[in-house]
Structure 1
Amino acid sequence: MGNGLETNTTVTFRITPEGARHSVVVATERITEREQGTRPRRGLPPPPKQYLLIGFDAEYVPPAPPHSGDDTGPSEPLSNDILSYQFSVRKVVEGEEPGSPIVGIVLPDDGGRVALAPFLAFAIGTWLERFPGETAPSTIYLVGHFTRESISAFADFRDFQRSLSIIHNTFVTLNRTLAIKLTPLDARQVSLTINLRDVRLLAPEDHSTLDQIAHILDLPRAEATYRGPLPSHSHLKDLIAQDWPRYQAWAVQNANICAAYAERLLTRSSTLAGKFTLPVTLTSIGQQMVLDRWKTARFQPLEPLGKEEIQETRFDRRSARFVTKKTNVYIDRVHWEVDFVTDSYHGGRNEQFMFGPAPEGEWRDFDLASAYTTAMSLICLPQWHDLQPLTNLEDVKPTDLAFACVAFEFPETVRFPSLPVRTENGLIFPRKGRSVCSAPEIALARELQAELTLIKGVTVPVDLEKPLFKGFITDCLEHRNAFEKGSLDNLFWKELGNSTYGKLAQGLRKKRVYDSRSNKMEFIPEAKITQPFYASFITSYTRAVIGEILNRLPQEVAVFSVTTDGFLCTASLEDMSMALSGPLAGSFMQARRDLVGNDDALEVKHIIRQPIGWRTRGSATLKPGHEPEDIVLQKGGIKAPERYGKLEQNRYMVDLFLNRTADQTITQSTNITIRQMIAENVDFGMEYSERRLAMEFDWKRVPTNHRDETIEFEGTPFNHLAFDSIPLQSKEQFEELRSLWAAYTKNDPKILKTEADCSRFMDYVDAKRNNGRYAFTEDGDLKRIKLELCAALVRRDGSFAEIRTRSTYTHKEFARILTNFGIPCKDSDVENAARNKKKGRLMAYGQSGDSERVKGVLIKLKNECFPDLDIALFLKGDIGNISHNENTASDNGMV
């Protein structure tokens, strides 16, 4: 139990703006205490567990944010003005219907704050006052929404903050609880045990706002209770003064939603995990269900994880003696390979294939149905003691537990190379390189005819008769489908299945978080079921299935973007049927049949007419589908105003992208960190900072076919750059492009808004790559091509042998021809080329840089003067001919 707080049993608070006060007395004889660890008499069942559920919330007015442009640095967090504290109390007893709730509100004195201990005493006393025949249990679940915001509003927060744990950036109690002592004047002292929970950690990921939780509970939402648009923080004081009943009804509903949701989750946790306790997170329920299933299947406790229990003896400085402790460790064969396999664990595939406005058409947003849970269902019990080196990639099957480091090169014809390469800026999928990956992607690379060289690998045989997660996933899907879509039970079971995968990967990437108890940065610990072999397979299998589908789409199908388990493209349902004919998609559909009785692999989530995109996870909708609400929107790390609905956010993002300027900054708000709150003794709040708008391409692909497009958005015409993309050649090319873009925009901000913008950057890339004579001089591209053409003439290269057999040119005549075609040249330049040839100074071709005007001049020379001219000789082989001119070079990309 953590730090103790104390309060009197007689508590008085102001409950109206006019100053009316109310006093309650907590009758300690009506609070039932049961000593921790006591057992019932032999032969008798244990008494039912019971708790008080107290939902709580605090309303406040934050300091006013700075105006855009006021300050380029982060703003200093200030104190919030606390307006009220709300509570909702109900009693829950194991095996019984929950009792009726009561709600209440407390107002601090002007400029003051209320302490947690007397606040809870007031809430309990109010409940006891309302139900005179009831007793209150001493164990309490205190439940809020985003508790780092609400719990820190109490006056005594500094007294108990070290007892709180931090999970997903919010406060809970984990290994120890809060203790509050109720001290009456003439009766026994009573201790309350407080467990802090946050409903955001217990709600489905996409339904975690208070209004979304209210909706799935079928409770009045905050808007409905308020009867109008929700007030902004800055207007709350005015609302209290003008319409107190309206404010009160809205404010207490927030606390009531928290308590009601906790009550429902408590019941489900008891049914599923066999424990009448409120878990800290929803995933902890799923984890326990998995462990229970393994126990039922009579697996050895640690067998599925490749672990064993050992005893370790170490010296304990506190007790000054040696202590023996049991701990779980990987068996030797697994331990030797854990780091290598962890390196093969990557996240989802996220790429933007098109920049700017896409062509208008019918764009379908496809999602792979229950991707991660379906992949989990394929994992069977490994025979860990038979783990061995992988020696032959040809034997690898898509569903094997095999992991390898391979050197690879895909054919030029592959549109979407499929082997992941990790960089400091996320995953990329280049045409060649080195990848640490898993069996599904190895099998797909072979299917795509990639050249593979095995550097290192391991494989683990499995017992196909002993699936590890299939039963759990089947239960989740069956229960999910038994309830109406969008209902609490439907969403609960969906989240339970989807989120349990996260426990398999927890702690694999060494990420440090702040621990308020130790006041240090600590690594996130592994979960009870963390297993890198499984996490790597699941993510690899999902990427591989998506990659196979993309590569089997007809060439004429445009693919706009891919995001983990979904992609946006112009494929018809017939096209998609063909794309699902590969072996990986076949294994996925078979797994779906085994799980749910049908092989529906893909779901169409949206159909729109025209998307617009800028970078990974950054896209919006120019023209929606048949319904105005049918849009796709990914904000790419940019925050739209919170008061906006989805359509307004889409409009905001499109306007921001189309109207952006090179030097544009935006004011972005971020929550101050928990470490700041504790170390600097400040309230929860927002920090505001000005940063450069980041809506340019991220270079995870290579631009091609760049052009200016005229589009219309909500009746207004715009012109904007658009381009397609082709795969990167290598990790080195990715790093080079990002580095060159950073250097290009460092001192003189630039954006890619027109075709000319794109051409100028490509010229810059050419110049930087060549880095030779004239590389950075004015008209350096023309000066370099002049030297190369003169060298080719005297050396009879580039088809000049054939040209000169039909017509002879003096040095002066050749110089005049080049000058007339836009390449300033003197006869001395040709004479110098001839002297260099005699001296053996042979100039390398393809060093002129592929600027648009160099390509244009070469084509004009060929068309109008030298029909046999071999243009390819003068263009770099690794830089394709990007052009918007139909009469010039082909569009192969800036590779």
Structure 2
Amino acid sequence: MDTYMDIDDPKLAELMKSASASTASEAPSPTPSAISGTAPRFEFDFPAISDFAFSTDFKEPSHGDWKFDFGELSLNGIVNKEAKRRRIDSLNVPILAIDTEYVLHENGLNNIILCYSYAIGFDDNYTTGIIETQSKGRDGRISLAKLLITAIEDALENETLDAWPEAIILGAHFLRADLFTLSDAFTDIKANVQGVRKSVASLGDAYGVDIDEIKDRIIRREQFTKYDKSSKKRTVDVLFYDSMLLAPAGKSLADVGALVGLPKIEIEPPYRIEEMDVFQREQPEKFKAYAINDAEISYRHLLKMIYFVVEELGLNGLPYTVGGMATRKFLNTIGDDYRKAFGIRQLSKVVWPKDGGKPKTVKGDIPEPARAILEQFAIDCYHGGRNECFMTGPTEVGQWNDYDAPSCYTVILNACRPLDYEAFYMCSDPAAFTVDVCGLARVRFGFPPDTRFPCLPVTTEEYGLYYPLEGESYCTAPEIAVAMSMGCDIQILQGFIVPWVEGAESVFTEFMQFVRHKRNQHVKGSFEERLSKELGNSLYGKLAQGLSGKTAFDVAQGISSRIQPSPITNPYFAAHVTGFARALMSEMLNGIDSDKQVVSVTTDGFLTNADLDKGEIKLDGPVCQQFRRLYHLIDPDGGEILELKHRAKQLIAMKTRGQITAEEEYGFEPVIAKAGVQVPKHVENQHRHMLDLYLDRYPDQTVPYTTLTSSRQQFMFNRDMVNQTKDVRLNLEPDFKRQLVNPKMVLVDGKQHIAFDSKPHPCREDGEFCRRRLDLWRKNNCLKTMEDWESLEEDILLAKLTDQLPIRPQTGEPVDQFFRRMFLRVYAQELYNVPRTYTYKRMAEWLTAKGYPTNPGQFGYASTAPLAEGMIPVTASTIRLLHLLLGEFPEFDYEPLFVADQRCEIAGWLERLRSS
């Protein structure tokens, strides 16, 4: 939560007055002001450069502790809120963007640094340069101080800067990769940056603190006085920014270059990025241009970001992430209604230092008591998106459409109004849980047996969300409303409704209208349009920050700490928004004509052969109508609530989040979701690679998977960041979130491969059981043929029956051989209308000749062995044996031997076998 701290300490206040360019946390106040970051201060001379060191003692709280934002933080401690402070205006602070070129040392653990490149300036007029290392060992690396001095002096000589700056923004795309190649990275720098999304930035986010330990936060600083070439004392505050955290999600440096109008230089063959030392040696000028180009892209990106936040968003500083930017703008928009809208209040406490001194007043935001009562229940009802695969293997050739609900989460945010937490009440009537109600419930449910797409999520410990026909669910009001419309029988075990404040307007609409307006102002795909879209998406993520219990590595402390809530974290809003999104997808799925197929659903869209233009998808349910109203609230000309994104003639469905195009449709980009597979960088056609990988896969196959040295490994052991490649088991088998049915062979890319439809599991336990059996089976098998399916199906069926059968299959015994063994007892004892017409020897020979090896001596034991009914599962192999036996013993009364609830399937199986 957002908090502020006041310190009544004249000495500290006086010291803070001299700490120029201190900066504000990314976590804003209810009425935000300037934004910048915590700035470590460096004072140095030239050319003699000494090490610098700082100490911080920040401690993360355990879950449930008070959470505080220090407002303005300096490296040395807490800035007196009452002290007069000079803030950094990002437009008046020069940018220093850096990039490092290196190659992997032959030991595979370290990098050989080839050069440091930089771009420095205020605006479009900037200076670039390169510092090539004189030694390939660690002694060739330079310090941050030398890098700063070299770049600043270069800019002064080129008149890019007209004076030594008092503060500077230092940035790079994926800053962790470049910053920690410096010689003093692990002695000084790592104490002054914070881990953010696998990278680092200045210490500027909200910190949690035990208010009784505030005295430990008093300034601890060692200051080093250095001088420039003219022997003049210089002080520079450095703010670390990772431009990757300010780019649209997943965008590489090359993508950013295209957005900012400076294409990334590509290395031409025969040179490779893995052998940059060769490129440097043989093409030195091209190498320099390549290295400097990377720094220039980061420079232009940061510059554009500064102008964007000031001119487009009206902010007066640059946050460290797009999420922080969205939060700041949103809180600027909502203004003084912040606490009322989110159900929080400010609390003050006087703290007396244990070692004496004046008391300190601590102020912090905490949830209102009424909001706090149900927070854990709201968190239990908060789940991710609806992600399922409904088909497995290749589809038939036809027209397959990929539809998305536009701006799904950002649209649904408009449904959130201030909640009247004091008025929450228990409710056991499912009919009261309607689409536009903030309702939370634990329910017991049962859908009709023929339901195609049940809509109530059931959490599993290992496998994510399941959507079975019956079970217990923590869910939200929109999901209950959709379930009721589908004829679901619902018993509310515990239910709560938190009413919206009567007459209150949406908390988020003004911000979302602003974002949509900005998007429409700019050309689709432009830097500003993409960034505006990212703002809307990022704000939703901040609602749920800290709810899942995930941890992150704390660079400064060297421990993993629980991710703390953002200033706008609210489990009620988060649960309602995600529940609404799942309900929307569920209503749309159940609005698809019954003769049409659905390949998969992923969060806010689905793949289907239903055609929206032909009216094959109904969008008139109550959730769709509410979503349409909310969508047109922020974009009156937005059109329909489903948009066609891709189209293909044939698809392959591998598993959840694993779909690829087998045959493309002219004019459409192919569908590709790689199910976690990492395609090698040298592969030009990812779709062809994934298609071949799927069709040609084999048991126990491994593929290379490359990761970077983790923050934990890097900072715990002072290691370079290097690529670490290991072989991982390929897993493109279905994940059994639904039961596979209707197996058939389908031609795809000139090969036959098995394909399935699916139906819901009857319950969560059934789904988990099937998944565990699959995980064991796939260690030595792949699901590619009918024979593979028979093997897997029999494995699952036998495993289900093992604990129930009075007579169990022998270890490793196939189910048809188990049936053969039981039939020997039927024959020997002349049961179920099977006469003993042949000698044991002749019967054994006949069975052996038909593919069921039998020894005549087995009949001796069979003549007295026990026999129980309901033991044989209905599978392809048992039906084949039954078909064979009926040809010889047509009066065989076989039904009592088979599993009771599967006997109804036998006639159909036999008919298909006779006609084939």
Do the structures match in fold with TM over 0.5? Answer: yes
CA distance in 2, matches of 1:413, 1:268: 53
Instruction: Rate the CA distance shift 1:168–1:879 in 2: closer, same or farther, 3 A.
Output: farther
The one-character-per-residue Cα deviations of 1:83-121 (angstroms, maximum 9, x if unpaired) are: 111111112xxxxxx351111111011211121111111
Report the CA distance shift for 1:814/1:203 in structure 2 as closer, same or farther (over 3 A).
farther
Change (3 A) 1:779 1:45: closer
CA distance 1:133–1:282, change in 2 (3 Å): closer
Equivalent residue letter for 1:165? Q
Alignment map for 1:643-792 (pairs within 5 Å): 643-645=682-684, 648-712=685-749, 717-745=750-778, 749-771=780-802, 772=805, 773-776=807-810, 778=813, 781-784=816-819, 787=822
Aligned 1:195-344 pairs, distance under 5 A? 195-206=239-250, 208-223=251-266, 228=268, 231-271=271-311, 274-295=314-335, 299=337, 301-312=338-349, 317=354, 324-344=361-381
Kept in 1: contact 2:45–2:228 (CA 8 A): yes
Alpha-carbon distance in 2 for matches of 1:285, 1:559: 38
1:745: Cα distance to partner?
4.6
Residue 430 of structure 1 deviates from its aligned partner by: 1.4
1:834–1:667 distance in 2 versus 1, CA, 3 Å: closer
Cα distance per residue 1:630-662 (max 9 Å; x no partner): 2111111111112434xx111111111111221
Q: Is this contact kept in 2: 1:620–1:631, CA < 8 A?
A: yes
Q: Could you tell me which residue of structure 1 aligns to residue 681 of structure 2?
A: 642
Structure 1 position 390, deviation (Å): 2.3
**In the alignment, what sits opposite 1:805?**
none
- From 877, 885, 892, the counterpart of 2:901: 877
Match of 1:460 in 2: 498
Question: Which runs of structure 2 are paired with 1:48-447 in the superposition (5 Å)?
Answer: 50-63=92-105, 77-91=108-122, 98=123, 100-111=125-136, 112-131=140-159, 134-159=162-187, 160-175=189-204, 182-184=226-228, 187-206=231-250, 208-223=251-266, 228=268, 231-271=271-311, 274-295=314-335, 299=337, 301-312=338-349, 317=354, 324-423=361-460, 424-447=462-485
Residue number among 867, 870, 874 corresponding to 1:850 in the alignment:
874
Kept in 1, the 8 Å contact 2:457–2:467? The answer is yes
CA deviation after TM superposition for structure 1 residue 486, in Å: 0.3
2-structure distance, mates of 1:473, 1:779:
60
What percent identity do the matched residue pairs reach? 26
Give 1:604's aligned amino acid: L
Classify 1:244/1:319 alpha carbon distance in 2 versus 1 (closer, same or farther; 3 Å). farther
SS of 1:656's equivalent in the other structure is helix
Deviation readout 1:378-414 (Å, 9 max, x if unpaired): 1112112111112211111112110111111111211
TM-score between the two structures when normalised by the length of structure 2: 0.82
Q: How far apart are the structure 2 equivalents of 1:663 and 1:755?
A: 19
Aligned-pair distance for 1:50? Answer: 1.4
Opposite residue 198 of structure 1, the aligned amino acid is D
SS in structure 2 opposite 1:446? helix
- Matched position secondary structure for 1:128: helix
Look up the equivalent residue of 2:801 and give its one-letter code: N
| 1: CA distance, partners of 2:889 / 2:81 | 101
Against the structure 1 CA distance between its residues 63 and 398, is the aligned structure 2 distance closer, same or farther, given a 3 Å change threshold?
farther
Q: What residue is the counterpart of 1:482 in the other structure?
A: 521
Contact 1:366 1:567 in 2 (8 A): yes
Task: Give yes or no for contact 1:859–1:888 (8 Å, CA) kept in 2.
Answer: no
Change (3 A) 1:720 1:99: closer
Please say if residues 660 and 673 of structure 2, whose CA atoms lie closer than 8 Å, have aligned partners that are also in contact. Answer: yes
Distance in 2, Cα, partners of 1:510 & 1:574: 43
* Separation (CA, whole Å) in 2 of partners of 1:158 and 1:133: 30
Structure 2 partner of 1:69: none
Distance 1:488 1:576 in 2: 36
CA contact (8 A) 1:55 1:88 kept: yes
Cα distance in 2 between the residues matched to 1:63 and 1:46: 41
* CA deviation profile, 1:810-849 (whole Å, cap 9, x unmatched): 565899999979799999999999999xxxx99342x212
Moved more, 596-605 or 530-539: 596-605
Deviation at 1:597, TM superposition (A): 1.3
Matching residue of 1:550: 589
Unaligned ranges ≥5, structure 2: 1-37, 50-78, 206-220
Counterpart Cα distance in 1 of 2:553 and 2:838? 76
Deviations 1:240-292 (A, max 9, x none): 22222222222111111111111111122224554422210111121122222
What pairs with 1:558-577 in structure 2 (closer than 5 Å)?
A: 558-575=597-614
Return the offset for 1:171.
Answer: 1.1
Corresponding residue for 1:26?
A: none
Name the CA distance, whole Å, in 1 between partners of 2:484 and 2:548: 29
- Distance across 2 between alignment mates of 1:267 and 1:757: 59
Letter in 1 for 2:340: E
| TM-score of the superposed pair, with normalisation by structure 1 | 0.84
Equivalent pair of 1:179/1:192 in contact (CA under 8 Å):
no
Describe the SS at the equivalent of 1:506. coil
What's the CA shift string for 1:26-83, capped at 9, x where partnerless?
Answer: xxxxxxxxxx9999999x999996101111100111246xxxxxxxxxxx85110111
Q: Secondary structure at the match of 2:581?
A: helix
**CA apart distance, 1:580:** 1.2
Distance 1:253 1:327 in 2: 45
Instruction: Give the letter for the 2:753 counterpart.
Output: H
Pair 1:826–1:450, CA change in 2 (3 A): farther
Task: Give the Å deviation of 1:166.
Answer: 0.5
User: For residues 481-540 of structure 1, what are the alpha-carbon distances to aligned partners after superposition, in whole Å with 9 as ceiling and x for unaligned?
Assistant: 121100111111111111110000100011111101111111111000000111111111
Q: Is the 8 A contact 1:705 1:884 kept in 2?
A: no
Q: Equivalent residue of 1:689, what SS? A: strand
The range that moved more, 525-534 or 634-643, is 634-643
CA-atom RMSD in angstroms: 3.7
Would the aligned equivalents of 1:665 and 1:693 in 2 still touch at CA under 8 Å? yes
Q: Cα deviation per residue 1:568-603 (whole Å; 9 max; x = unaligned)?
A: 111112455642122211221222222211441111
Amino acid at match of 1:50: N
Go from structure 1 to structure 2 and tell me whether the alpha carbon gap of 1:541 and 1:54 turns closer, same or farther (over 3 Å shift).
Answer: same
SS at match of 1:601: coil
Q: For the Cα contact (< 8 Å) 1:422–1:428, is it kept in 2? A: yes
Counterpart Cα distance in 1 of 2:246 and 2:827: 72
Q: Residues 699-724 of structure 1, C-alpha deviation per residue, up to 9 Å, x if partnerless?
A: 11111122333322xxxx32322222
Q: Distance in 1 between matches of 2:311 and 2:900?
A: 68
- Checking the alignment, whether the CA contact within 8 Å between 1:850 and 1:876 is kept in structure 2 is no
Q: 1:882·1:889 contact (CA, 8 Å) conserved in 2?
A: no
- Asked whether the equivalents of residues 79 and 682 of structure 1 are also in contact (C-alpha less than 8 Å), the reply is yes
Pick the aligned partner of 1:470 from 500, 506, 509.
509
8 A contact 2:746–2:754 mirrored in 1: yes
The residue number in structure 2 matching 1:505 is 544
Count the aligned residue pairs: 818
Q: Distance in 2 between matches of 1:814 and 1:593?
A: 82
Are residues 865 and 152 of structure 1, via their aligned partners in 2, closer, same or farther at CA, if it must alter by over 3 Å? same
SS of 1:522's partner is strand
Which deviations, in whole Å up to 9, do the C-alpha atoms of 1:324-364 show, x marking residues without a partner?
Answer: 52222222222111011101111111122222222111111
- Structure 1: which 5+ residue stretches go unaligned? 13-35, 65-75, 92-97, 801-807, 891-895
